[in-house]
Amino acid sequence: MLAILILLICTLLLGYIWGKHDGRVEGYEQGIVNLPLLLREQSYGQGYCILCNEQLEKKPSD
Amino acid sequence: MWHAIFEQSCIVIAVMLCAIAVKFVDDFLDQDLDTHAGSRNFTTQFGNGTVVYAMLALALAASLNTNPSIPLFLASYSVGMFHDLKQPFPTGLSGWQESLFVFLFGVMLWGWQIMLFAILFIASIQLFDDYVDVCTDQLVGYRNIASRIGKVECLLLSIITMLSAYWVCEPVFLSVFLGTFLFYGVLFFYQKGEY
């Protein structure tokens, strides 16, 4: 009974480590895809384009 | 009946005394770290006498009940070296070499079962301690096991090693666990919830 419980928690630990590793890889890939869009959105909000560094004529919030 | 109760009580008190010895030696070695973290340390109260009191506590523990006390102390020494695996020590050996030698001496003197139990039990306490202290240790720039492998992993490993210790040596587990629990309880109230 005790051996089964130990085995069960070992499996839980391995599953957790596996899931955490996969989540980290997936999160990194999603971050790479989303970061340029977020930076562009932020820069437009501040009134300039991050790609050409040109000032926008009108801020989107105006 | 009374004889059995007396014997188990002796083990509980011996384990508490052994825990005091380990705590005092640990405080003596970690006084700089504890000063930076702002944690309570027995060395500020007892000064250099901390090590002498640790020896006294260990001698009393061994007098009361030798069998779980000395293997537990040897296991504490062995597990304590895991933090400085590559650091050379005054003996000329590195941390992992000293750790291995102490463990092997323990196995030769006390047998594999009680030494394996002691190593698993102390490793479990160490892992749980690191899980609780992860924030304090990170504040002083010290990366303990919980910050290296993750908090949840550390807690689950602590539970696994504790259950394995129970599996390896069932007859002494309860007394050792009770002694450790009482020691931490007293320490918690002494340090007024700082632990």
pLDDT of residue A15: 96
Average pLDDT over residues B36-59: 85
Using CB atoms, which residue from B157, B164, B167 is nearest to A13? B157
Which structural domain, as residue segments, surrounds residue B104? Answer: 2-190
Query: pTM to 2 decimals?
Result: 0.83
Number of structural domains, chain B? 1
Q: Is the pLDDT of residue B42 over 80?
A: yes
- Residues A44 and A25: their CA atoms lie apart, in Å, by 29
Say what the alpha-carbon torsion angle A47, A50, A55, A57 is, to the nearest 10 degrees. Answer: -60
Nearest-by-CA chain B residue for A5 = B163
Q: Is the residue at B169 inside a domain? A: yes
Nearest to B76 by CA among B29, B18, B157: B18
CB distance A3–B159 less than 8 Å? no
Q: Is the pLDDT of residue B13 over 90?
A: yes
Q: Is the residue at B139 inside a domain? A: yes
Nearest-by-CA chain A residue for B154 = A13
Higher pLDDT, A53 or B27: B27
Indicate the range of A4-8, B91-95, B153-157 predicted with least confidence.
B91-95
Please name the residues in contact with B149: beta carbons below 8 A apart, sequence gap of 6 or more.
Answer: B157
Cβ–Cβ contact A49 with B under 8 A: no
In this structure, what token pair is assigned to residue B88? 């050379």
Q: Which residues of A touch B163 (CB under 8 A)?
A: 2, 5-6, 9
Q: Is the residue at B195 inside a domain? A: no
Task: Report ipTM for this prediction.
Answer: 0.74
pLDDT of residue B116: 95
Average pLDDT over residues B161-180: 93
Residue given tokens 């309860």 in the structure block = B174
